[in-house]
A and B are shown apart, each in its own frame.
Chain A
Amino acid sequence: MDQTRDPTKQTIQRKFQEYYLSPAFRISGPQRMEEREYGFLLFKEKFMVRHRAFKNTESLLGAVRDLTPQHVYFSTAYYQDPTLPMEQKGWHGADLVFDIDADHLNTPCKPTHDSWKCKNCGTSGQGMAPKPCPKCKNDKVEEQTWLCEKCLQEARGETEKLLEILYSDLGIDPQNVRIFFSGHRGYHIHVYTKEMVQMEEQERREIVDYVLGVGLDPNLHDLEETKSSGLKMVSGPQMGDPGWRGRMVAGMYDLLGQPGDHLGLSASQAKTLNEWNHEALFTKQFWNTVRGIGLSSWQMLIQKGVERRAARVDTVVTTDVHRLIRLPGTLNGHTGLLAVNVPLERLDQFDPFTESLAFQGSMKVDVKDAPSFRLQDSTYGPFKDETVELPTAGAMLLMCKQRAQPVN
């Protein structure tokens, strides 16, 4: 039955099957589950089974048990008949979904745990993979990524920024929001508000651009320079104004609270700003109180303030109204961790390295190379060419990440 020869893959698949057959495996199924399309990426030849539909959780559970897929997905969209080809499905709307993934965040810790190698010329390096290869311009750059605490914290920070925008600007009721840890490097934020569900691609794009601050022009938010009796006066939005107006000022406040960075200004301007008491940002006339900082400098500072407060979401996931996305409660084939629901009120305390573990017991593996990692309260590694006994969850993580092989 199993045609794959790779013993690591076989072991992973067997473990996945054990988990899916155990009573620990439970899913609640997405809302309006019968209107969704389901997809399963199988271990075997990376084959995708799509266009499936299930009336209830039991039949969905049954399919996962039968297929033991490497990844399980469901559609963010609702369809009249999810089993038909795409253009005949009858689109009834789609949840508004945001994907925040450490893959897209250039975190400072990446060089310590991510690496890349060009399959063509063998050039390799640390950190986020350049594309194409800087030496031979080939596109075949292989990445080896890691899920690290700092990266995940950063992703959680972006999630918090997104939630703030969703609640206070877009008026989303927290009751209509669910957050899921993807089981790998990020978070998925699902919004079920009825009127958002009906939005089409172009409207969703506007929303994405809004949370990213794309196309934002400070002049259209009243930043301007006027001359009165020969004096140049700058005026602009105020702290506490609704929407991006207040947020861009708050973003500058964050920036100026951090010493060091020149913010793209001249040394003397940076020095002036550094000495300036930025609490003044709370006052009405602050735009004219820093000597040497005029309209163009403010424009630059605002731009940086916007970048700081924008939520760095993936642009493709949100605008794709036919997207398949990971089903919470299932195993992520990249890590062997579970995709899990993160209660909103516990986002700040959520610990992916404790709360998304699926496997019990321990296992011996030959580790090629692995950075150190934590599971619950214990830290393991780093490892290099050694055989170690690890909690199964850790062994699975290393095997899924192709950093270890099962012993014998």
Chain B
Amino acid sequence: MLTRADLAKYPFLLEAQEYIRELGFTIEDIAQPEFSPVLERAERRLEEALAKGKIAQGVPDEKTEILSFPISNLILSLTGEERARRRFALAEAKKAYERLKLEHPEKLEQIATKTFNWRIERADRQIGKRLYEFTITLPDYLRNSIHLKEPKWKLSNRIVDHGRVYTTREETARLLEEEVRTRITSRTTNPPSQLPPLLQPRVDQAKGLIIKWLGLPTNYELPKVPMPEAMPPCIRNLIDQLAEGKNVAHMGRFALAAFLSNIGTQEDEVVRLFKPATDFSERMTRYQVEHIAGKRGGRTKYTCPMCTTLKTHGVCYKPDEICTTIRNPLSYYKTKARTLSGRGPKRGPN
């Protein structure tokens, strides 16, 4: 059974929503004087998430702690800033993890089952060096583990038995952290049709905080002119292979064309790179390059495949230092281009 203290620790839970519903609050109540600690806490939650990427311990009053969470969410959604929402979700999720990993297994079980619909079971089984306290189903595991990069999360490195994956208590908490992050990120708060006058200044203030901590929403994502020296090893390798007249398999060609089109390379230039290929056909290549760029056919602009895909299909080549920090060749390019052009790391004027 979850206590009110638990709901204060984990305000994203279904039970916390029920609790608030039972209190019978409406958005107009925000104007009440006794509500001001909640507003304050909601703002601090946001500011901490934006400034530090983490949220410290909550306020002692549990009710305030619980109520402030949906208010933070509401303010965030009214700012319409996706990047701020992602940062907030991550901070809340991290905070949850720090506490979840210390919880009693029964509590983890209840949270996983009730809010996230996991089919989790107690295992309490020692296999090799580790004590596995739980097993979870394959879909529950994969939905969350695919976001985690460490090799230990790779399914091939897990104990998988009859559709269930063995997890330790700490690992279960870590997978739940992902679940929390997804839940907060994708949460759709329907803003009330009439915004209480009190809230508008808070929203404006939040907008200010976002700019203060995350900077102006710049269009500086990629350099305007393609920077070949910022390309990741896999893409350089593909270009070299083609230049030497070696055969490059379909996935490699697709990745190259999609990568180049995404960094703003002119189609003529992309087509030219494919010229040394022995099976080169200008017409076919041009068609496909334009298709990938979204100028033909379904008009979908394709993005470059993820590193994991490229690994599976053998396109990944001599990953370097930067590669350990990214999941898509385009992010590599973004990161390196930023460093090369002397703009430094993205985050913050601080």
Contact = CB atoms under 8 A, between A and B. Distances in A.
A209 B151 contact: no
B330 to A, nearest CB: 17
A63 to B, nearest CB: 24
A199 B142 contact: yes
A168 B163 CA distance: 8
Contacts of B146: 202-203, 206
B308 A205 contact: yes
Given A209-B312, A316-B313, A242 B139 contact: no
A355 to B, nearest CB: 32
A243 interface: yes
A214 B157 CA distance: 9
Contacts of B278: 120, 132, 136-140
B196 to A, nearest CB: 39
A205 B145 CA distance: 12
Contact of A222 (B128, B137, B158): B128
B322 interface: no
A136 B279 CA distance: 12
A131 B245 CA distance: 12
Given A203-B139, A209-B156, A245-B159, A139 B308 contact: no
A139 B251 CA distance: 16
A315 B138 CA distance: 19
Interface of A: 85-87, 120, 131-132, 136-140, 168-172, 195-196, 198-199, 201-203, 205-210, 213-217, 220-222, 237, 241-245, 315-316, 319
Contacts of A120: 278
Contact of B139 (A85, A198, A244, A316): A198
B164 A315 contact: no
B306 interface: yes
B313 A139 contact: no
A290 to B, nearest CB: 20
Contacts of A137: 245-247, 278
A139 B159 CA distance: 42
Nearest to A138: B278
A263 to B, nearest CB: 22
B156 A215 contact: yes
B156 A242 contact: no
Interface of B: 127-129, 137-139, 142-143, 145-146, 151-152, 154-164, 166, 245-247, 251, 277-279, 298, 300, 306, 308-309, 311-313
A209 B155 contact: yes
Nearest to A207: B155
Contacts of B247: 131-132, 137, 139
Contacts of A131: 247
B170 to A, nearest CB: 15
A113 B151 CA distance: 41
A169 B162 contact: yes
A172 B127 contact: no
A85 B313 contact: no
Nearest to A213: B156
B313 A315 contact: yes
Contacts of A171: 138, 161-164
Contacts of B127: 241-242, 245
Given A137-B245, A140-B279, A208-B312, A215 B160 contact: no
Nearest to B299: A87
23 contacts: A87-B298, A87-B300, A132-B245, A137-B246, A137-B278, A139-B277, A171-B163, A201-B309, A202-B306, A203-B142, A205-B308, A205-B309, A206-B145, A206-B146, A216-B156, A217-B156, A221-B157, A222-B129, A242-B166, A243-B160, A244-B156, A245-B128, A245-B159
Contacts of A237: 128
Contacts of A202: 146, 306, 308
Contact of B160 (A198, A209, A210, A319): A210
Nearest to A167: B162
Given A237-B128, A316-B313, A85 B298 contact: yes
Nearest to A208: B312
A158 to B, nearest CB: 17
Given A140-B279, A203-B142, A217 B151 contact: yes
Contact of A220 (B151, B277, B279, B300): B151
Nearest to B145: A206
A201 to B, nearest CB: 8
Contacts of A199: 139, 142
Nearest to A141: B247
Given A139-B278, A195-B137, A216 B160 contact: no
B312 A319 contact: yes
Nearest to B250: A316
Top-5 shortest CB links A-B: A171-B163, A242-B161, A222-B128, A216-B156, A139-B279
A84 to B, nearest CB: 11
Nearest to B279: A139
A214 B312 contact: yes
Contacts of A138: 278-279
A221 B313 CA distance: 24
A215 B151 contact: yes
